[in-house]
Amino acid sequence: MTTQYKSLREKISAETKERKKRYQFYEQVVLEAHIVAHQAVKKHTPTPMHVTDGKNNWVIDDGVCGFAEVRLPKGNTSFARWAKKNTAFEKHYGGGLSLWVSNYNQSMERKEVYARTYASVLNRHGIDAYATSRMD
Protein backbone atom coordinates (compact mmCIF):
# COMPACT_ATOMS: atom_id res chain seq x y z
CA MET A 1 0.00 0.00 0.00
CA THR A 2 1.44 3.36 -0.99
CA THR A 3 0.71 6.59 0.83
CA GLN A 4 -0.45 9.55 -1.19
CA TYR A 5 1.22 12.83 -0.31
CA LYS A 6 -0.08 16.29 -1.15
CA SER A 7 3.37 17.49 -2.16
CA LEU A 8 6.94 16.36 -2.60
CA ARG A 9 7.86 18.36 0.50
CA GLU A 10 5.35 16.40 2.55
CA LYS A 11 6.75 13.12 1.24
CA ILE A 12 10.34 14.13 2.01
CA SER A 13 9.36 15.26 5.50
CA ALA A 14 7.57 11.97 6.21
CA GLU A 15 10.52 9.92 4.94
CA THR A 16 12.97 11.98 7.02
CA LYS A 17 10.94 11.36 10.18
CA GLU A 18 10.76 7.65 9.35
CA ARG A 19 14.52 7.48 8.79
CA LYS A 20 15.29 9.28 12.08
CA LYS A 21 13.02 6.88 13.93
CA ARG A 22 14.75 3.89 12.28
CA TYR A 23 18.21 5.26 13.12
CA GLN A 24 17.21 5.78 16.76
CA PHE A 25 16.09 2.15 16.81
CA TYR A 26 19.47 1.06 15.42
CA GLU A 27 21.27 3.07 18.11
CA GLN A 28 19.21 1.38 20.81
CA VAL A 29 19.83 -2.08 19.35
CA VAL A 30 23.61 -1.56 19.11
CA LEU A 31 23.74 -0.25 22.69
CA GLU A 32 21.67 -3.19 23.93
CA ALA A 33 23.86 -5.64 22.00
CA HIS A 34 27.03 -4.21 23.55
CA ILE A 35 25.66 -4.17 27.10
CA VAL A 36 24.20 -7.68 26.93
CA ALA A 37 27.36 -9.07 25.28
CA HIS A 38 29.65 -7.43 27.82
CA GLN A 39 27.55 -8.80 30.70
CA ALA A 40 27.75 -12.27 29.15
CA VAL A 41 31.55 -12.01 29.00
CA LYS A 42 31.71 -10.95 32.65
CA LYS A 43 29.74 -14.08 33.63
CA HIS A 44 31.88 -16.41 31.49
CA THR A 45 34.93 -18.21 32.87
CA PRO A 46 37.25 -19.46 30.11
CA THR A 47 38.76 -22.93 30.21
CA PRO A 48 42.38 -22.38 31.33
CA MET A 49 45.13 -23.26 28.88
CA HIS A 50 48.02 -25.38 30.17
CA VAL A 51 51.40 -24.83 28.55
CA THR A 52 54.57 -26.80 29.12
CA ASP A 53 58.09 -26.84 27.76
CA GLY A 54 58.77 -30.31 29.15
CA LYS A 55 60.24 -28.97 32.40
CA ASN A 56 57.97 -26.10 33.42
CA ASN A 57 54.19 -25.83 33.38
CA TRP A 58 52.16 -22.65 33.06
CA VAL A 59 48.45 -22.04 33.34
CA ILE A 60 46.88 -19.25 31.30
CA ASP A 61 43.57 -18.46 32.98
CA ASP A 62 42.19 -16.58 29.94
CA GLY A 63 42.38 -19.75 27.84
CA VAL A 64 43.60 -19.96 24.28
CA CYS A 65 44.50 -16.88 22.25
CA GLY A 66 42.37 -15.93 19.31
CA PHE A 67 40.12 -13.53 17.47
CA ALA A 68 36.39 -13.02 17.04
CA GLU A 69 34.12 -10.74 15.06
CA VAL A 70 30.47 -10.05 14.39
CA ARG A 71 29.60 -10.32 10.70
CA LEU A 72 26.82 -8.71 8.69
CA PRO A 73 26.60 -10.79 5.50
CA LYS A 74 25.09 -7.96 3.47
CA GLY A 75 26.68 -4.53 3.48
CA ASN A 76 23.88 -2.79 1.59
CA THR A 77 21.01 -3.07 4.08
CA SER A 78 19.70 -0.01 5.89
CA PHE A 79 21.28 -1.18 9.15
CA ALA A 80 24.61 -1.99 7.51
CA ARG A 81 24.85 1.42 5.85
CA TRP A 82 24.00 3.09 9.16
CA ALA A 83 26.42 0.86 11.13
CA LYS A 84 29.30 1.60 8.75
CA LYS A 85 28.85 5.34 9.32
CA ASN A 86 28.04 5.29 13.04
CA THR A 87 29.79 2.30 14.65
CA ALA A 88 33.01 0.32 14.39
CA PHE A 89 31.61 -1.99 11.67
CA GLU A 90 33.90 -1.97 8.64
CA LYS A 91 33.95 -3.55 5.19
CA HIS A 92 34.94 -7.20 5.33
CA TYR A 93 37.20 -8.66 2.66
CA GLY A 94 34.74 -11.53 2.12
CA GLY A 95 31.80 -9.16 1.62
CA GLY A 96 29.44 -7.52 4.03
CA LEU A 97 30.68 -5.83 7.20
CA SER A 98 32.43 -6.95 10.36
CA LEU A 99 32.81 -5.69 13.90
CA TRP A 100 36.19 -6.76 15.25
CA VAL A 101 36.17 -7.69 18.95
CA SER A 102 39.35 -6.09 20.30
CA ASN A 103 38.59 -6.15 24.03
CA TYR A 104 39.17 -8.99 26.50
CA ASN A 105 42.93 -9.31 26.04
CA GLN A 106 43.80 -12.30 23.86
CA SER A 107 41.10 -14.62 25.22
CA MET A 108 39.39 -16.26 22.26
CA GLU A 109 36.62 -17.65 24.47
CA ARG A 110 35.69 -14.25 25.89
CA LYS A 111 35.76 -12.67 22.44
CA GLU A 112 33.59 -15.51 21.10
CA VAL A 113 31.05 -15.04 23.88
CA TYR A 114 30.88 -11.31 23.13
CA ALA A 115 30.53 -11.83 19.37
CA ARG A 116 27.89 -14.60 19.64
CA THR A 117 25.83 -12.65 22.16
CA TYR A 118 26.09 -9.42 20.16
CA ALA A 119 24.98 -11.22 16.98
CA SER A 120 22.08 -12.91 18.79
CA VAL A 121 20.78 -9.54 20.00
CA LEU A 122 20.94 -8.18 16.44
CA ASN A 123 19.14 -11.30 15.17
CA ARG A 124 16.45 -10.92 17.80
CA HIS A 125 15.75 -7.45 16.39
CA GLY A 126 15.54 -8.69 12.80
CA ILE A 127 19.11 -7.86 11.75
CA ASP A 128 20.98 -10.66 9.96
CA ALA A 129 24.28 -11.23 11.80
CA TYR A 130 26.54 -14.05 12.94
CA ALA A 131 29.78 -14.52 14.88
CA THR A 132 33.06 -15.98 13.65
CA SER A 133 36.30 -16.72 15.47
CA ARG A 134 39.66 -18.34 15.00
CA MET A 135 42.48 -19.43 17.23
CA ASP A 136 45.80 -17.63 17.07
Chunked into runs of 10 residues, the chain (136 residues) has average pLDDT values of: 83 93 97 98 95 94 96 96 97 96 96 98 98 96
Total-model pTM: 0.91
Q: Return the pLDDT at 29.
A: 98
Q: Number of C-alpha atoms within 13 angstroms, CB side, residue 33?
A: 28
Determine the pLDDT at residue 5.
85
**Chain centroid to CA 99:** 5
pLDDT score at 1: 55
Pair 111, 67: CB distance under 8 Å? yes
Helix 8-43 vs helix 78-86: crossing angle, to nearest 10: 70
- Report pLDDT for 3: 76
